[in-house]
Chain A
Amino acid sequence: MTVIATESLSKRYPRVTALDRLSLDIGPGVTGLVGANGAGKSTLIKILLGLSPATEGSAAVLGLDVNTHGSAIRERVGYMPEHDCLPPDVSATEFVVHMARMSGLPPTAARERTADTLRHVGLYEERYRPIGGYSTGMKQRVKLAQALVHDPQLVLLDEPTNGLDPVGRDEMLGLIRRVYTDFGISVLVTSHLLGELERTCDHVVVVDGGKLLRSSSTSDFTQTTATLAVEVTDSDAHPDGTTALRKALTEAGLTLHAGAEQGLPGAGHILLVEATGEHTYDTIRDTVAELGIGLVRMEQRRHHIAEVFRDNDQPAYTAQQKGAGSDGA
């Protein structure tokens, strides 16, 4: 089954080509749409919602043609915009109920679905307070809730982690993952932060300058260049387990990165090991066992999808905190 299909889709404005013969075939699951600002991500979303006609080519969402079935598509699809879109003087409940009705839900269903959805995105008592007093993280949750409230088959999330701090970003990414795994709703999520999509998405599409740069499953992307984060405990024999393991792993011939996670709590206790294949996992496991220390975690770290972009000199890891100004209040 295909959720989104485009066939040599182009969008040209008088002075700029936003999409250039883009052909995509996206199935169910969580799909990341990666590209720098201006790569054509938002243009693609507009076309998929049937709001902006393509210059040439065709596109279908959930099997419906965007040119002829825009209204039907928008009934089955949720959309979370990148920018602020919430009136500050109403409560999250009132706002989401209204948006549910705008999607065609009868009044009673709109109320029930709103209560359910706000709970699922993690808004509880605060949902009765005016949105103006919410933190950026809470506002993002309301924006997500209004996109999910009518139980769509697909949600289009435009930069959902924008303006969030690292913890908020992780929570949002976890939530997005659950949207598919628990709710069964397919997701197209855009980001210019490549790393965060690796853990969240099943499939990543990279666009640049309106062209398809690459489209493949996340495992393909990270297979060759994965980085493993390893954290171990200390033992009596090795009072500093991390250092001991670092030494042992280097001797075993593995490449260790310098701590790339400075500034995060506990960063000093995490070793970043370059994984060159399945055997790397075995080596780490065996080394830890030999040292007799406890393995707290070993996980893949966000990294290196960025290499796809390296030729295009995109600052993939710029920590962008654009929305910081709207925090608090």
Chain B
Amino acid sequence: MAPETSTQIHNIGYRSYDGPRLGRAYARTSLFSQSLRGAYGLGRSAKSKVLPMLLFAVMCVPALIIVAVAIAVPGSTDLPIKYTTYALTTQVVIGLYLASQAPQSVSRDLRFKTVPLYFSRPIERVDYVVAKYAAMASAMFILTATPLLIMWIGALLAKFDFADQTKGFGQGLVSVLLLSLLFSGIGLVMAALTPRRGFGVAAIIAVLLIPYGAVTAVQGIAYSTGNAGAIDWMGLFSPITLIDGVQTAFLGATSAFPGGEGPSAGIGFVYLLVALGLIAGSYAALMARYRKAGL
């Protein structure tokens, strides 16, 4: 008889799986959480954590400084800048974040042809698009809302008026939510057009910056020639001025437009419609893009 201590090789044969299969909704949620984590480099290599984390930190530092100033300066009754102004001032950081992470989220799947593997599983095209869009928008919201949260907590620590601050904070949150949806939509459409990540990055930066540059230049000219009406309408043509217009009209923000007037509620309604139209259009464009990207 063989001694009990002798080495044995255990061949564990194939075991079948009888557990639960959670189906389509669960798969969609899994894709959402994987994409959202991926947007901050979590679950990816150490190298890919650097940029998103750095940009996140860069977004938060000014808010901390603002809070420090507000608390340190004696007799102050309000934060030095409004909640709604914060995203406008930091738009370059937001743009860089979008340009770096949107291609990461969708171009990779196209480039390495992983998309067919997703569509060979219970999810449908709509699930893929919704999960990716929601993940990108959530990542953008985390990026833009966290500094506002810091400012709000700081303002409460400084014992500023609670009702005022909370109202401003709420308005800021609505504004960055709209911004997150709009920017993510534009960024994902740009990124999904090309499997090349570099092109995606360049295209997103171009779409965010070139119209903004053009719009502010024309607005500047209109202002100096005294044509105030043109200033309001020009703002429709770049993403960030679109947000500016909406929040000036409805969310008590101070416009960054020349003259600081911003659109009235009437024109502001057009701004809101255009912004919502762009969000819906981005979604439709993504759906159309993945019609052919299946197998």
Contact = CB atoms under 8 A, between A and B. Distances in A.
Given A89-B45, A98-B30, A51 B119 contact: yes
A49 B16 CA distance: 22
Interface in B1-32: 12-17, 19-24, 26-27, 30-31
B295 A105 contact: no
Contacts of B108: 87
Interface in A39-76: 42, 45-46, 49, 51-52, 70-72, 74-75
A134 interface: no
Interface stretch (A22-30, A77-85, A206-214, A230-238): A77-85
A103 B19 CA distance: 13
Contacts of A87: 108-109, 112, 114
Given A74-B120, A98-B34, A183-B14, A150 B114 contact: no
B112 A88 contact: yes
Interface stretch (B51-59, B81-89, B121-129, B167-175): B121-129
B277 interface: no
A99 B121 contact: yes
A86 interface: yes
A289 interface: no
Contacts of A79: 116-117, 120
B117 A99 contact: yes
B15 to A, nearest CB: 6
Interface string A123-152: 000000010000000000000001000110
A103 B21 contact: yes
B114 A75 contact: no
Contact of B116 (A81, A130, A184): A81
Contact of B124 (A45, A71, A109, A182): A71
B294 interface: yes
Contacts of B121: 74-75, 99, 102-104
Given A101-B27, A101-B30, A120-B14, A106 B19 contact: yes
B43 A104 contact: no
A117 to B, nearest CB: 9
Contacts of B20: 104, 106, 109
A292 B24 CA distance: 66
A150 B108 CA distance: 24
A51 B120 contact: yes
Interface residues of A, number: 43
Nearest to A148: B14
A146 B112 CA distance: 15
Contacts of B48: 89
Nearest to A109: B19
Contacts of A42: 295
A99 B44 CA distance: 16
B114 A86 contact: yes
Given A51-B294, A74-B121, A85-B114, A105 B17 contact: yes
Given A74-B122, A104-B27, A182 B14 contact: yes
Contact of B122 (A71, A146, A151): A71
A77 B117 CA distance: 12
A306 B100 CA distance: 52
A113 interface: yes
A77 B119 CA distance: 12
Nearest to A120: B14
A90 interface: yes
26 contacts: A46-B294, A46-B295, A51-B120, A51-B294, A71-B123, A72-B122, A74-B121, A75-B23, A75-B121, A79-B117, A81-B117, A89-B45, A94-B43, A98-B34, A102-B117, A103-B122, A104-B21, A104-B24, A104-B122, A105-B19, A105-B22, A106-B20, A113-B17, A116-B12, A120-B14, A182-B13
Interface of A: 42, 45-46, 49, 51-52, 70-72, 74-75, 77-79, 81, 83-90, 94, 98-99, 101-106, 109, 113, 116, 120, 130, 146, 150-151, 182-184
| 9 closest residue pairs by CB, A with B | A151-B17, A79-B120, A104-B21, A101-B30, A183-B14, A104-B22, A102-B121, A87-B112, A71-B122
Given A102-B27, A116-B12, 4 more contacts: A49-B120, A52-B294, A84-B112, A130-B45
Interface of B: 12-17, 19-24, 26-27, 30-31, 34, 43-45, 48, 108-109, 112-114, 116-124, 294-295
